[in-house]
Amino acid sequence: MENNKLQELTDKLYNEGLLKGKQEATELTKRAKEEANEIIAKAQAQAVNIIKEAEKKAKEMEHKVVSDLKMASTQTITAIKQDVVNCIITKSISEPVKNAVAEPELIKSIITKVVDAFKADNDEVELSVIIDNNLKDKLDSYLKSDIAKRLKNGLEVKYSKQVGSGFKIGPKDEGYYISFTDSEFESLLANYLRPATRQILFGE
């Protein structure tokens, strides 16, 4: 009899323990599933945010690349146009200017006007002129007689291979010269011709 009661008690404890264990296991499983679902939901939300951020950065990068390409192409076209204009102007005026500025009569005329302009500012001015060595035979006599006589303190005349076509002139011992060389005339003419040339070529 006692054995039966003990068996019943044992069975009861076993069954209650088993039931409780099953309930706890079910609760743990449920909680684990909920946590797993929560983790998955967070991961999915993070993945969506990462994708959105990546798409945003990709669009920003695309916009920047397109913008940079537009700027680069505009700058390249502008540079090419400028090169074309400069090439045409240089070919058009370089040789004629060199020839004109190497012409003794033109040099005489310009020097005379420049000397008179200096004299008008200061009658005591003493001038120095540097001329292309190739023009010495054609200009030396004129400069040392006609031009020198125009100045109260005379004219210092120098010849150099470095000057190129044309001449440089300035107050003696003051450390500066005004240049009337072929390159200066070319630059001056180019500045006047460049806008007209761009208008003709590109309608700008």
Please state, in angstroms and rounded to a whole number, the distance separating the CA atoms of residues 108 and 130.
13
pLDDT digit string (tens) for the chain, length 204 residues: 556 666 665 666 566 666 666 677 777 777 878 777 888 888 888 888 888 888 888 888 888 888 888 888 888 888 887 888 778 877 777 787 777 777 888 888 888 888 888 887 777 788 888 888 888 888 888 888 888 887 777 788 888 888 877 888 888 888 888 888 888 878 877 888 888 777 887 777
Domains and CATH numbers, the chain: 97-202 (3.30.2320.30)
pLDDT at 70: 87
DSSP 128: E
Please state, in angstroms and rounded to a whole number, the distance separating the CA atoms of residues 157 and 106.
17
pLDDT at 21: 65
Encoding tokens for residue 99? Answer: 């020839």
pLDDT at 133: 85
Q: Three-state DSSP class for 175?
A: coil
For 36-87, give the DSSP string.
HHHHHHHHHHHHHHHHHHHHHHHHHHHHHHHHHHHHHHHHHHHHHHHHHHHH
- In this structure, what is the dihedral angle of CA atoms 128, 131, 133, 138, given to the nearest 10 degrees? -100
